Chain A
């Protein structure tokens, strides 16, 4: 097994404020890695630093290639897609146009067949394909955000708190979808969550992020048996 994403000593922040203080992370190809952390821990900042949306220093290697100096739109075309916190769908555009925008970096002729594939996977989106994305429910928008990201044919999907604002049943279905994408389509996933119970169920590897530092990392079983973690994230 090899690391698809290798992060070493990654620091990033906003203007003069450093939020992420040199974090290390490996995401193995074909696995689901989860970053757990409280509000303000720097989870979103970490994903933004990986996808190049904010200035960063350190080492970020993707698929054996350094992307620390690479522009965000180029990183997408290398195979890293990000589903941002709050979904980031194009609310004024139709579901169809959102999906096509997801394929912006592609130049092959299989965009239409991929569109059909993901509409099959997310039939509710297909029913609403000519509707503006802003008129979808929260759960549907989250599905759209993920489907849009998949349209770029990513090797690695970065997913920022997909459960935010969703009812427990919908969240559960969403995690099942992510697991299915991982198992059936071989998609590697880096998932950020506060919902530890569900995230630990589908994770192969878990990191704990606290005030910009990774304070623990390991298998879900090991992390779940840690007393401090149970108190902070599992409500036990």
Chain B
């Protein structure tokens, strides 16, 4: 029982990072109808910038803040310089451009940070020594994991306030619902899309730093599996639903953790365990999508991708 609680917290913690990156995907999907294949590598690039700043002596939190601010500008530039011109040519072109951006950012990371191939040491944001845990309900909960979960929950809460309570959030929701009507009520849809890209990039910068902190390492390949699982989480939640992305990410993390810690002396333990945790997670998503094609909380407008 103690272990179970611990696995669940571990799962919630890593799952919260999937949830955050999935939110970045949802923000773009709602505005454009496309999955941003470059979301993970945008996060990677920002994380390497954070690493570089910290390496040059900037305190970690300040380094993350600067990197997030740069990401905001970079995300907006990606929209204005790449996505919008591509979208004018054809509806599908932005997908191809995003895949190109994925490749491009990955290669650029390797060029600018040559040692990132092997992995660069990244400081944890929270105390992460073996002794740094608190006991809750008899289970040892690592402070680091609680910290990551708390940061993500606060970030998510702020995003929901932005979506639901601010004028720019209302504008984002109108664009997501019906871009033509949004224009008709005077919403500058292009500027809203630019803001969405900027916001997704900032989310990536935060999520990337949290992930690198847990791994105490950042390398070229760090964000790829995070991107895949986040995309799966967003799909599970319903691609156009921010709440769905959060629930999708958290449940995916918990499923992964529980499957990964499946006891060796239980039935079928050859099939269920650390090696198959991701496969099992994807199988569960597949089953959910068979029953609910638009995901748990998605509107039925979400097409199959």
Contacts and interface: CB of A to CB of B under 8 A. Distances in A.
A90 B171 CA distance: 11
Contact of B173 (A73, A90, A102): A90
Interface string B156-186: 0000000000010011011011101111111
Interface string A141-171: 0000000110010000000000000000000
B170 A88 contact: no
Contacts of B188: 71, 73
B187 A88 contact: no
Interface in B243-277: none
A228 interface: no
B107 interface: no
**Max chain A Cβ within 10 angstroms of own Cβ: one of B183, B186, B189:** B186
B181 A84 contact: yes
Contacts of B186: 72-74, 76-77, 104-105, 152
B187 A89 contact: no
Given A104-B167, A104-B170, A93 B181 contact: no
Nearest to A91: B177
A126 B177 CA distance: 22
A89 B181 contact: yes
Interface string B57-71: 000000000000000
A101 B180 contact: no
A205 B77 CA distance: 49
Contact of B178 (A76, A90, A102, A105): A90
B299 interface: yes
B183 A101 contact: no
Interface string A61-96: 000000000011110110001101000111111000
9 contacts: A72-B183, A72-B186, A81-B185, A84-B181, A92-B176, A97-B170, A102-B185, A104-B171, A149-B185
